[in-house]
Structures are given as structure tokens and as C-alpha cells.
Structure 1
Amino acid sequence: MDSGGWGTHAVELAADHVVKRFSSGGGGRAGREWRALMLLAAYAPGLAPVPGTADLSAEEPTVVMSRLVGVPLRGSPLAAEQVRALADAVNELHTAVPADVLRQVPVRPGQQGDLIVQLKEWAVTVRPRVHGPVGRAMEDGLRWLAQSGLSSDDGSRVLPVFGPGDGNLANYLWDGSRVRVVDFEDSGRSDRAFELAEITEHVGSWVEHPLDVPAFLACFDLTAAEEARLRECRRLLALVWLFLLAFDQENVRNPPGTAERQADRLWQLLA
């Protein structure tokens, strides 16, 4: 989820490379970015930028990588071949890192446990100030969360995958034949259900030109346990986005009424 990353880095674009400069005290973002680029260069060459150099000990750490050619998938309608290519890229990303290597990769930030802690805080600090349908949807979502059992189900019963840490379709680039991936500052070990939920429930997947979620998810051969977890993770991510979009009233990033539309999305997922 990219909502917490605003202002964490600056990007300098050159003809053939990109310099990503991270703010001081960036919470390990530069290190995660570099680790992801190195892992994917070794196990999924061509899927992500080629790592160049990194200065992780600088006051403002930098990571240099190749510049990929492609158009972000966010912001325009997606043809069926693009949805399929997106799924292919996501599947390759999830499965590229061998199991013995993946075990050494820390759990990515912003995973389920982190989100539940954040929601409990928002329930006290934010919920009382929000009214109307958005407030009612928050109440319903928090009631579901308390009964969901997610606090004791951390995804350990499903196979781990490598997660990029951001479901924004702007980070998936279409070059006319395949999709490549950028932005790994919140990457790490995760599970497939959570990662797929992060893509389908990201505001960028529906606020402008909606992703065909059934077609996208049909590209993955999920186990019964993953199917059940995906349903719960989609609800969790939808609730998180409801709170995030409620903040738009103070710092508008999306069209008017987006929070109300998100309330409807959450209710549909809770039904």
C-alpha cells in the first residue's frame, strides 16, 4: 500500500537510468528497494529494473537502477491482454524467489498485523469524527474486524511469496507485450492472498478505470485456504482504504465522493 509513502523519496530520471533518493530516517526503504532489485535480477531477470549502485549508509540513501520502458497501467482502460499480462507479472513476482532464499527475507511492512494495529488506533482517533455513510461503513467494518479472527490468522497457513509492498497499478508498466514492475521500498515476504487483495482493493484499481477483478483473479490457481484468506484480506484492505480516503477531506487526492464510493465497496465485500 503506497498511502504511507508520500514524501519518502525523490526520483531523478535520466535517459537510461533512474536515481531514487530516500529521505533520512526512511525506515529501511532504500534497503528493501535494493534487496528486491538484487533478488529479482537473480531470479526473475527482466521483470524489474536492473540494479546499478546503492549508497545505503548515506544520510539520504540512494539506489540507482535501469530505466524501464512502458506505460503505467493506472489511468486508462485495460484490455484483456493487459489484465492477463498484469497477472503474469504478479505471478512471476510472487514465485520467483526460491523458498530457501525467501525464508531469509523479512516480512514486508504494512502487512496484516500492521494494518490491524493501525485500524485499532484509527477507531479511537478518527472514527468519532466521521459521520454519514462513511462513518456507518467504518462502524460495520470495525465490527466485522473484531469478529473476523484475522488477529490470530497471519497467513502462515498459506505458502509465502515475495510481495512488492504496493498495489498501485501505476507501478506496473506495459511495454506493448508484457508488464514489468517498479517500486519495492515496502517489499518483503508476504502471502499471495494478501498481495492480490492489495492490488484489487487499491483505490487506483477502481477510482478511474476499474480493473476487471474477476478476470484478474481468475488467472491465479488459488487453494481453498487462499480463496478464504483472499476474501478476508480484501475486506481488511477495503476498510483501511475507507479510513485513508476519509482523510481526503483535508488533503484532496481523489475525486469528490470517493470515500462514499469506498463505503459502498466495503459493504459489498462484507455482504
Structure 2
Amino acid sequence: MTAQWTTHGVDLHPDTVHKRFRTDAHDEPEREWRALTLLDRHAPGLAPRPLDRADGTVTMSRLPGTVLRGAALTDRHLDALARAVRHLHDAVPAEEAARLPVRRWDVRESAGAIRARAGAVRAPGTERALTAGLRWLDGAQDALAAGGDAAAPVLGQADGNLANFLWDGADVRLVDFEDSGRSDRPYELAEMVEHVSAWTDTDLDAEAFLSRFPLSPAETRRLLECRRLFALLWLVFLSADPTTTARNPPDTPPRQATRLLTLLDTPARCPRRWP
């Protein structure tokens, strides 16, 4: 991410990391510190330990491992990744998660960004998907925002970039919580499997990954709707944002359009269960 779009800088030291936020980073330092503090209490070792916070800088412990983005993901990777994400979602008690501020890029913020930027989409091969996606969004947004029984509150990391998941040869740990807040499991899983990092430079088998989560029928239906939302959001980002476009292969927007159309045509069904 370029300096124009990132809200922080990172200084790496042997045992610590200093994350320096820009003055216009809004509440991102608070979100990062709050999430790390909660996880240090409820799931120690899953994320960096918070050490200090001062002058727009959050200091945390440095975790071992290499990023999963760009890796050839095996069953061992998927097992460990799913285990870490389940731990994240189960660790913070629901009543405590319910009191958190809503995560960044929730349904309303994402839908607002889609509509605000849709007029700037010019990439060839995206017109049909954009039209179909906007039509779907008009009918789906209210139910998505309401959530219902499938949206039990969890602490959401709110960043599905596979660069935020560190593999140490046995386990996966999580970093980057500046957008974190109250979310729900289907929404978080949808963001992970639809993040551009899952398929442009990493081959994340979405169905194999999702099969490692015991989802109820209601969660399965919400998961599909959330995947459609994120696929539409990424279509707009990849087609209308020149900075995002420059960071990805030239054929990314039409490939994203195909992903969205496939999801719009997909019926809701429970993912196959992993043995």
C-alpha cells in the first residue's frame, strides 16, 4: 500500500514492533490497542502483546513467522489458518464483543463506498457485473445490515489480507487490527475469502477453507450474501481506484467481475464439512 493510502508506518525491531499512525488516522490506534488488549486477556499468543501506546504509536511484541500471502497453501496451512480464526471469533465473550464499536467497512460503510464510486468504474469487461451487483445491493442491503440470528457479535479483525496471517511452521497468528471492532463470523469469513489477496497472488481454496467452520443454515445464507457484498466492493475498488489497479495484474478487474457474477448465480448451501 502506498503512503497515499496507508494510515501507519511500521518499525521492526528484534522483539518489538512500533506502529506509527498518521495524525488523520481517526480511531485506528484505539481500535488496534483495544483489540490487542482483549486478545492478550482472552487469547494470549494469538496476536501481538500490547506493550505501550503514546503519541499515535502502538508498541507491541514481534511475532515469529512468514506471511501466508504468496505462499502455496497446503492442508496444513488451511487447518492452522482456520484454527486461528475460530480462536479469534470464540475468544472474546459475546456480551463483551457486543459492546465494541462496529468494525470499519461494515455493511453500511461498504455499501456507501460502492455507490459513491460506482460511477468511476471504467474497466472493460466489468459493466454487466457492476449493473447486476448494484441491482442485487438495492434489494439485499437492509437484510444484510440487520444481520439477524446469523450475526452473533464477535471481535472482527476487519482485514482479510493474507499478509496479516503469520505461519511459523505449525500455527498461524494474526496481526493488524486497526479496523477491528464488532462484527460477526459470516461477515469476517466472507471478507477473508473474497479479499483480493486470496486469489491474485495466493490460491486460497475458499470452499476447503470454509468447510473447516461449522456454520448453521442461517450463517451459510448470510455468508453468501456477505461474499457478494465484498466481491462487489472489490470490483469497484479494482476498477475505479487507480492506486489499487496499479498494484494488481491488468486482467484483475474482469476476473473480479467474473467472481461477482458467479457468486450472484450461486445458491446458498452449506459448505462441505472437512473430515
Structure 2 residue aligned with 1:45: 44
C-alpha distance in 1 between matches for 2:13 and 2:4: 23
Structure 2 residue aligned with 1:33: 32
Question: Alpha-carbon deviation of 1:145?
Answer: 1.2
Amino acid at match of 2:132: D
Question: Alpha-carbon deviation of 1:103?
Answer: 2.1
Structure 2 residue aligned with 1:205: 198
**1:120 aligned to 2:111?**
no
Structure 2 residue aligned with 1:94: 89
Question: Alpha-carbon deviation of 1:98?
Answer: 1.1
Change (3 A) 1:131 1:69: closer
Structure 2 residue aligned with 1:181: 174
Amino acid at match of 2:170: S
The 5-angstrom pairing of residues 80-91 of structure 1 reads 80-91=75-86
**1:143 aligned to 2:135?**
yes
Question: Alpha-carbon deviation of 1:135?
Answer: 2.1
Structure 2 residue aligned with 1:234: 227
TM-score, length basis structure 2: 0.91
C-alpha distance in 2 between matches for 1:189 and 1:4: 27
Counting matched residue pairs gives 262
Q: CA RMSD in A?
A: 1.8
- Report the secondary structure of 2:20's partner residue: strand
5+ residue gaps, structure 1: none
Structure 2 residue aligned with 1:104: 99
Change (3 A) 1:232 1:13: same
Amino acid at match of 2:115: K
TM-score, length basis structure 1: 0.92
5+ residue gaps, structure 2: 266-275
C-alpha distance in 1 between matches for 2:236 and 2:25: 23
- Report the secondary structure of 1:147's partner residue: helix
Amino acid at match of 2:43: A
C-alpha distance in 2 between matches for 1:8 and 1:236: 24
Question: Alpha-carbon deviation of 1:5?
Answer: 9.1
Amino acid at match of 2:263: L
C-alpha distance in 2 between matches for 1:136 and 1:247: 15
